[in-house]
Structure 1
Amino acid sequence: MRPPAFWYTAPDAPDVRSRLLSPLGALYAAGTARRLRKGAAFDPGVPVICVGNINAGGTGKTPTVIALQMMLAARGQAAHVVSRGYGGKLDGPVRVEERAHSAADVGDEPLLLAAFGPTWVSRDRAAGAACAVGEGASVVLLDDGFQNPSVAKSLSIVVVDAWRGFGNGRVLPAGPLREPVQTGLARADLVLTIGPEEAQARFDATWAPVVGAVPRLRGLLKPLQTGLIWTGLRVVAFAGIGHPEKFFATLHALGAEVVATHPLEDHQPLDDRLLGRLIADAKAQGAQLVTTEKDAVRLPQTLRSQVLSLPVRLELVDPAPLETALDHLLTRRDD
């Protein structure tokens, strides 16, 4: 389901529904804290970089993991991603094979990440990390494991959608958070806010004092240059990501004529009925169907040639804090 609008009201002016649900939020936060205190975390013997969030839903973790895969490969590291495989049916541990697996097997994000480097799906993150190291991983990238205590983390990056920030600052179901902001940030080594300058300024106005001394990265998702000319292209756009409106805005900014949009639930299955409706709409509009790179991996093979996808990549405004952290992490391991 789509997140309720009151999750994103101003923190200093909470909606009455948020106030009424706050006791449940306190219980949820207590449950998260209790889970994080459980047992000793497994140390796989190599650096573990966790890319996670405090918010529920999409914040830009997948592009961040892709950027890290590329940065670590440039440093000669064999980085393996370990993911829970949300939306897939396999418990794992299993190494994702693009030609052998579907999004229904392993989830859409792991299938996309496997195009950039070795990727594992495992409900048991510790077992997944152990398999990755057994297959030669020199670094483990833990995808969306910030609230999972089962694996010891060497570096934790909290990713935030700069437009939305931390919403109303309240915990589920009173707000969009998995745990209180300050509680989560106490475990973070870096905070990455993703969005254009206007969004970054909006985040700063509300949340910069809360982030405080945690080193901050600013990033922007930029369309990958593929040679396709978007200007004037009539498109019907659909997206099942955390914030579909960002994708539609990107198409507008590229000059596409967006004649219809279909915001879907995050990870929503693309069944025959839905696809039939999308195809019929594009045909009636005389337009081209277009979606995100993550949604495209959930398409049936028979339709992939008929639907354009728009890949985006994370561009850091100043990558120095992350590069320094990676260099320190890898140097410390070599010592």
Structure 2
Amino acid sequence: MAGTAREDGAGAGERRRGRSIMITAPRFWWRARPGLAAHLLQPVAALWGWKAASRMAGTPEMRAPVPVICVGNFVVGGAGKTPTALALADLVRRLGLAPGFLTRGYGGTIRSAHRVDPARDTAALVGDEPLLLAEAAPVVVAPHRPDGVAPLIASGTDCIIMDDGFQNPSLAKDFSLVVVDGGAGIGNGRVMPAGPLRASMAAQLPRADAVLVIGAGAAGETVARMATSADKPLLRGRLVAEGGPEGEEQRRVLAFSGIGRPEKFLASLKEAGFDVAATEAFPDHHPYGEADAERLIARADAEGLALVTTAKDHVRLNGGVGTLGRLAEKALVLRVRLVLDDEPMLERLIRAAVARKR
């Protein structure tokens, strides 16, 4: 299983891409009980956790003149932040506000504040998530997040949705919604590099305004109990696939993805009616190359399978030429949306945060 560290560090199997450090998360991170490796790494994790907690407690450099809603997670890797950010944009619109997204642009090479143009920008430049978000609202990529506030407001935004950055203190947050994958939870509960936590739960949980558990699982229930014990509003939701195979020739598929938890993608495919005959898993935010495309197309053709991938993976294929372009054309795209069990509760929380800001 792959995970990534964004602004909060490194660990086993790290590799650099642009200014970001990408990490292939070791399997022991996601075991319920810490093993020998986690115990051996605990002294380093203690230092890491202290440093991360100190950073989180720092004074914000800036308070935006409009509400800032942060969508974050406790651990490295995917938890469902992007579908949550998109759902929040819809909710904010219903409140009469104009949302805009602020993101670091993980995986891209942008080094200064940049308004995303989905017609011209590529994932290599701005990252994959900003291109998905730009389908719904204005997006500004800003490695230093306060730099992105003015361009967003200039675009007409009067409510900023910050995708990731819960541990980053540079921009003050008016509401922080922390997303938890119900199947993965917080893994072994240890801080990097002994586990997947970006900082200790003692440092992170008090700073959350609400916790959203997406999907079912014992690991997610553990975090749900922690949130309840800390008197944090607890929300639940699930990712629902949009669309399905349009014919029998699309039903049997080779599913490929480079996301934090590929098993979530596979579960969504099966729920949508696909017959997953083969799979190819790449590291999170994997930059696909010609060799990848050639191998995927050749295998699909040899086994008589259709190709299917995630929306996040597909934007990394767009703009490719040669075999990479062929893969972008051939691959079906499975999109998912977040369905909340208690959307009115989240609406009340956001409405109250906006009112406090005003």
For normalisation by structure 2, the TM-score amounts to 0.87
1:203 matched residue in structure 2: 220
Counterpart for residue 150 of structure 1:
170
- The aligned counterpart of 2:293 is 275
Query: For the structure 1 residues 229 and 314, does the alpha-carbon distance in structure 2 shift closer, same or farther, using more than 3 Å as the test?
Result: farther
Q: CA RMSD in A?
A: 1.7
> What is the aligned partner in structure 2 of residue 3 from structure 1?
25
Deviating runs (4+, > 6 A) in structure 1?
none
Which of 300, 306, 318 in structure 1 is aligned with 2:342? 318
Q: Is 1:220–2:238 an aligned residue pair? A: yes
**Alignment map for 1:138-287 (pairs within 5 Å):** 138-196=158-216, 199=217, 202-204=219-221, 206-211=222-227, 212=229, 213-225=231-243, 228=246, 233-287=251-305
- The letter of the residue matching 1:176 is P
Retained in 2: the 8 A contact 1:236–1:288?
yes
Secondary structure in 2 aligned to 1:217? Answer: strand
Q: State the percentage of identical aligned residues.
A: 44
Partner of 1:295: 313
Contact 1:65 1:141 in 2 (8 A): yes
Instruction: Report the equivalent of 2:17.
Output: none
How far has the Cα of 1:130 moved from its partner?
2.5
Q: CA deviation at 1:117?
A: 0.5
Q: Deviations over 1:56-85 (max 9, x none)?
A: 111110000010111112222111101000
Q: Alignment partner of 2:207: what SS?
A: coil
Q: Retained in 2: the 8 A contact 1:108–1:294?
A: yes
Matched residue count: 328
The alpha carbon displacement at 1:229 in A equals 5.2
Contact 1:231 1:256 in 2 (8 A): no
CA distance in 2 between counterparts of 1:97 and 1:66 reads 17
Aligned with residue 131 of structure 2, among 108, 111, 124: 111
Q: Which runs of 5+ in 2 are unaligned?
A: 1-22, 320-324
1:149–1:169 Cα change, 3 Å: same
Q: SS where residue 149 of structure 2 aligns?
A: helix
Q: Distance in 1 between matches of 2:131 and 2:334?
A: 16
Matched letter for residue 220 of structure 2: F
Structure 1 residues 40 and 330: CA distance shift in structure 2, 3 A: closer
Cα displacement (A) at 1:8:
1.7
Asked if the contact 2:213/2:224 (under 8 Å) is kept, the reply is: no
Q: Normalization by structure 1: what TM-score?
A: 0.93
Would the alpha carbon gap of residues 202 and 38 (structure 1) be closer, same or farther in structure 2, given more than 3 Å must change? closer
Structure 1: distance between partners of 2:60 and 2:354:
23
Aligned to 1:124: 144
- Aligned residue type for 1:63: P
Is 64-73 or 184-193 further displaced after alignment? 64-73
Distance in 2, matches of 1:124 and 1:25, equals 26
Question: What is the identity, as a one-letter code, of the residue corresponding to 2:342?
Answer: D
SS of the equivalent of 1:186 reads: helix
Q: Deviations over 1:289-308 (max 9, x none)?
A: 10001101011443332110
Q: Give the superposition deviation at 1:2.
A: 3.3
Offset from partner CA, 1:262-317 (integer Å, 9 cap, x none): 01110000111111111111111111110001101011443332110000000001
